[in-house]
Amino acid sequence: MKLIVNIHCLGGFREVGRNGVLVESSKNVLLDYGLKVENAGKPKHPNREVDALFVAHGHLDHLGLAPAIYRQYKCPVYVTGPTLDLSNLLLRDSLKIAKLKGMPRHYSATDIVNLHKGEKRIHYGDEIKVGRKVKVDVWDAGHMPGSCMFVVKTRGKKILYTSDFKIKSTRLVNGARFDAKNIDVVLMETTYSSRNHPPRKKTEKELFQDVKNTIDKGGIALLPSFAIRAPELLMVLNDFGADFPVYLDGMAKSATDIFLRHPKFLRKPKALKAATEKVIPLFSQEERNNALKEPCAIVTTGGCMEGGPIIHYIKKLYSDSNSSLIMTGFQIPGTAGRYLVDTNRFVHDNMDLKLKMRMSQYDMSAHAGRDELIKFVKKINPKKVLCMHGEYCKKFATELNSRFELDAMAPKNGDVIKI
């Protein structure tokens, strides 16, 4: 009798966010369990026992519901050191925002404390046993410090879950490192399946010049960022020789400190440390207002402009044509940041502001671009590809089928794929 492996597509299929994949065999392995950042939407429930949860990295769309899973199943939760530390920071912040906005709260502060009791630290190159017959390999995903790909080995099959990944190195981390042998199924992110990223060095140079031009005009260069992107921005500003004040605000301060505590997961830990030593941290509203009195660069959390100090700065600067709003991250559909990019209006709570400050966008993505995705599939050479975590999953699956001799598909949330 041929043994079947069921892949349950719980979340992150034909969409970006709330990743969740359950690999069901003799033991059930859950790969990520996140939430929709913009509305706290959940993936489908596993509806069966979960024997282990593997968290790919420290983003809420991948770990945002880990406390709820641990509360129900008391299963081990496998994370790298940076992800473990980031999870505490991000989960507490997410709970606070949910309370403030009246959004659904799927776990409590006590659940976060309890989650850490079940967390087990892993490293790149590890092989983790789940029961006697299931093994999980841990690879470096190159997405951010501590990010992982996982290979679930069960019933003679190898199932690779890429989560978010990047092949090319950045200032902050090395590119993905993986063993490409005998993979049967790849669950692959396709965030940027429709386009490539511009050359990174050229982008960084243009971004720095944009910041410097703003300051030379007497304005404020405002750089909203996801907490984990902020350290890389600090490195760019420092490496290009910033001779102006650089401030750091919000959760980005804590995220930077976390990364510095895990130098083995960084490409150039000394360069990050050097950059942070020249930065001025901001802690209070008074300090923020004082910073706005002189031309400067402010790196602050609030990548999609849904919350954080960025709201305060936009309220203060939106009508200043000498100042700039310089964005570097993917603006998720449905967020204030995406609406701002599309309309040049900042709509948040009861505010509706038409920006006079100059707005620009730079691609400093930590995701694989279109050509990287295609080369990755060619190198891995799997039998089946399940496209996920993207807006054009179905279209990209069709293209992969035409390019390669494999079975590529774009499942929907709730689908079960039998292997």
Residue 180, both tokens? 């490409």
34 and 157, same structural domain? yes
Q: State the residue for tokens 């990047």.
A: 166
Same domain, residue pair 187 and 231: no
Position 381 scores a pLDDT of 95
Q: Is residue 371 part of a domain?
A: yes
Q: Which residue has the tokens 């978010």?
A: 164
pLDDT at 241: 96
Task: Mark whether 113 and 236 lie in a shared domain.
Answer: no
The model's pTM? 0.93
Q: Does residue 175 share a domain with residue 42?
A: yes
Same domain, yes or no: 376 and 356: no
- The pLDDT tens digits for 174-185 are 999 998 789 999
Q: DSSP state, 102?
A: T
Domain assignment present for residue 32? The answer is: yes
DSSP state letter for 257: H
- Per DSSP, the three-state class of 3 is coil
CA end-to-end span of the chain: 14
Longest dimension (CA), the chain: 74
Best CA proximity match to 264, nearest among 140, 405, 368: 140
Domain end residue (candidates: 334, 361, 388): 361
Domain residues for the domain of 31 are 6-195+366-418
Last residue of a domain, one of 324, 341, 361: 361
- The reply to whether 1 falls in a domain is no
- Residue 369's H or E segment, with its range, is none
Q: Do both 151 and 106 map to the same domain?
A: yes
In terms of domains, do 164 and 283 share one?
no
Asked if residue 162 and residue 293 are part of one domain, the reply reads: no
pLDDT of residue 340: 87
Helix or strand or coil: residue 74? coil
Q: Is residue 104, in this structure, part of any structural domain at all?
A: yes
What's the CATH code of the domain at 76?
3.60.15.10
Residue 137 dihedral angles phi and psi, to the nearest 5°: -90, 145
The helix (run of H) or strand (run of E) holding residue 391 is none
| Alpha carbon of residue 241 to chain centroid | 28
Structure tokens at 390: 């993207």
Residue ranges of the chain with per-residue pLDDT less than 70: 1, 38-40
In the chain, the amino acid numbered 100 is L
- Kindly state whether residues 257 and 172 are assigned to the same domain: no
Taking the C-alpha atoms of residue 110 and residue 119, their distance in angstroms, rounded to an integer, is 15
Three-state DSSP class for 312?
helix
Question: Do 261 and 292 reside in the same domain of the chain?
Answer: yes
DSSP state of 177: B
Distance of CA 112 to CAs 12, 346, 414, Å?
Answer: 23, 33, 27
Looking at residue 32, its amino acid is: D
The bridge status of strand 407-409 relative to strand 384-388 is: parallel
Spell out the residues 6+ positions from residue 241 whose beta carbon is closer than 8 angstroms to its own: none
- C-alpha distances (whole Å) from 183 to each of 149, 213, 378, 406 are 13, 49, 12, 12
Q: Residue 293 maps to which CATH number?
A: 3.40.50.10890
Q: Are residues 257 and 191 in the same domain?
A: no
DSSP symbol at 232: H
30 contacts 69 by C-beta, under 8 angstroms: yes
Q: Domain end: 361, 386, 404, which one?
A: 361
Give the total number of structural domains in the chain. Answer: 2
For residue 13, count other CB atoms closer than 10 A to its CB: 25
- In whole angstroms, what is the distance from residue 347 CA to residue 306 CA? 10
Shared domain for 311 and 335, answered yes or no, is: yes
Spatial separation of the C-alpha atoms in residues 319 and 263, rounded to whole Å: 41
